[in-house]
């Protein structure tokens, strides 16, 4: 489960490196002593916390040449501390240990950063303030990163984000993509804190080549839902899935000519909410043209992001009859050879 969660956020720090390939004019080299480039999104629902660290560099050659040998950008000697504070006191802390990166070995960004995992499990499940009447002792998180390679300690602190409360569905649901019945995903949020909302789906199915195999496609079903959609009276947000979701399924499942037939099993949906920092980070880098690239950071003495996200899961979702027929025979997915078993 931890691997799945870290992969959920892995695409965000990779944006800078991927965008670097768009233009040789993108200034990603920074003169002077190196400073850390940090990515950390703490989700109290996760078992552990992960931090990736790289560093700035100065070079007269093409920046892409440096990235192709990205091992020199790693910071394998960092000392990292995450602390939870409340009422002016430190209530909890953990160190971090270097681990192997989980991205594919041929990914450019995988060799250009160091990945760390918290030594302790996150013990913040009581932070859903809708469940405990707002009496959580934890008020903010603090992250500190130091290394002999850096002159100064990089640090940041952010308020703890209150968790969402599931409103509906409260049990297993058959998803209707054509709105004959109300099958929205609905949850209650803190509209004063939440500035980022996304929906991800793990789509479970089986496929047969010479034998049957269980498969899962990870789908970003809705990315950055407008937080302004939160109902100002009820503090709720409704997430609707439409027919275009089938197109996303088709894009997420690899084209394999050896597959004879596939069988749909179920879907697990997750709504992820984030604070203003992750929202500003995404606004800065997603769909940004290289020539207009700005630098976003909420790290002191460093670059990158330290942020808090919360999530809520809707497991074992299936399709209603018409939506399942569209999966089997519709224009988006008929070439995937799903059959009604």
Within a domain: 341: no
Q: Tell me the C-alpha distance between 98 and 8, whole Å.
A: 19
Within a domain: 259: yes
User: Do 93 and 11 share a structural domain?
Assistant: yes
β-bridge mates for residue 309, sequence order:
274
| Whole-structure pTM value | 0.80
User: Do 98 and 25 share a structural domain?
Assistant: yes
The per-residue pLDDT string of the chain (341 residues; one tens digit each, 9 = 90 and over) reads 334 443 444 444 444 443 333 333 334 445 678 999 999 999 888 889 999 999 987 766 666 666 666 677 899 999 999 999 988 899 899 999 999 865 544 444 556 789 999 999 987 554 554 454 444 578 899 999 999 999 999 999 999 888 888 899 988 899 999 977 667 899 988 888 899 999 999 999 999 999 999 999 999 988 777 767 788 888 888 888 999 999 999 999 998 999 999 999 999 999 999 999 998 888 887 766 555 557 789 999 999 999 999 999 999 999 999 999 999 999 999 999 999 86
Within a domain: 54: yes
pLDDT, position 284: 81
User: Do 34 and 129 share a structural domain?
Assistant: yes
User: Is residue 236 a contact partner of residue 300, using CB atoms and an 8 Å limit?
Assistant: no
Which CB contacts under 8 angstroms, 24+ apart, belong to 226-231?
226/197, 227/191, 227/194, 227/195, 227/196, 227/197, 227/279, 229/197, 230/189, 230/191, 230/194
User: Do 205 and 173 share a structural domain?
Assistant: yes
User: Do 287 and 205 share a structural domain?
Assistant: no
Sign of CA dihedral 204, 208, 209, 212: positive
DSSP letter for 310, please. Answer: E
Within a domain: 240: yes
User: Do 155 and 77 share a structural domain?
Assistant: yes
User: Do 297 and 174 share a structural domain?
Assistant: no
| Overall number of domains in the chain | 2
User: Do 145 and 85 share a structural domain?
Assistant: yes
Within a domain: 62: yes
User: Do 128 and 28 share a structural domain?
Assistant: yes
- Token duo for residue 217: 């496609």
Q: Tell me the C-alpha distance between 108 and 17, whole Å.
A: 8
User: Do 199 and 151 share a structural domain?
Assistant: no
Residue 237 lies in domain: 165-269+315-336
β-bridge mates for residue 318, sequence order:
174
Within a domain: 96: yes
Vertex 19 angle, CA 3 and 225, to 5° = 60
Q: Tell me the C-alpha distance between 178 and 185, whole Å.
A: 15
Within a domain: 97: yes
Within a domain: 282: yes
pLDDT, position 60: 64
Q: Tell me the C-alpha distance between 206 and 265, whole Å.
A: 7
User: Do 251 and 114 share a structural domain?
Assistant: no
User: Do 265 and 280 share a structural domain?
Assistant: no
pLDDT, position 334: 94
């Amino acid at each position: 489960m931890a691997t799945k969660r870290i992969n959920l956020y892995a695409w965000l720090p990779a944006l800078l490196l991927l965008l670097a390939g768009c233009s040789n004019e993108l200034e990603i080299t920074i003169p002077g002593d190196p400073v850390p480039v940090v990515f950390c999104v703490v989700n109290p629902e996760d078992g552990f916390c992960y931090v990736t660290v790289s560093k700035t560099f100065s070079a007269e050659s093409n920046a892409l040449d440096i990235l192709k040998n990205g091992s020199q950008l790693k910071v394998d000697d960092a000392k990292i501390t995450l602390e939870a504070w409340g009422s002016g006191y430190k209530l909890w802390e953990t160190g971090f240990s270097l681990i192997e990166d989980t991205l594919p070995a041929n990914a450019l960004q995988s060799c250009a950063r160091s990945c760390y995992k918290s030594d302790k499990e996150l013990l913040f499940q009581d932070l859903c303030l809708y469940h405990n009447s707002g009496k959580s002792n934890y008020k903010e998180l603090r992250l500190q990163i130091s290394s002999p390679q850096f002159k100064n300690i990089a640090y940041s602190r952010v308020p703890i984000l209150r968790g969402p409360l599931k409103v509906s569905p409260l049990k297993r649901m058959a998803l209707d993509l054509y709105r004959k019945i109300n099958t929205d995903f609905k949850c209650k949020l803190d509209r004063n804190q939440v500035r980022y909302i996304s929906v991800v789906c793990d789509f479970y199915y089986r496929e047969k080549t010479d034998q049957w195999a269980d498969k899962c496609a990870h789908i970003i079903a809705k990315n950055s839902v407008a937080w302004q959609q939160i109902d100002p009276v009820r503090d709720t947000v409704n997430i609707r899935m439409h027919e275009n979701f089938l197109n996303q399924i088709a894009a997420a499942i690899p084209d394999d000519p050896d597959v004879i037939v596939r069988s749909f099993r179920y879907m697990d949906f997750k709504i992820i909410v984030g604070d203003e920092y992750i929202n500003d980070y995404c606004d800065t880098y997603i769909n940004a043209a290289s020539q207009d690239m700005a630098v976003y950071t909420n790290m002191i003495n460093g670059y990158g992001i330290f942020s808090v996200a919360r999530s809520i899961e809707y497991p074992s979702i299936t399709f209603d009859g018409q939506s399942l027929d569209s999966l089997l025979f519709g224009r988006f997915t008929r070439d995937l050879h799903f059959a009604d078993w």
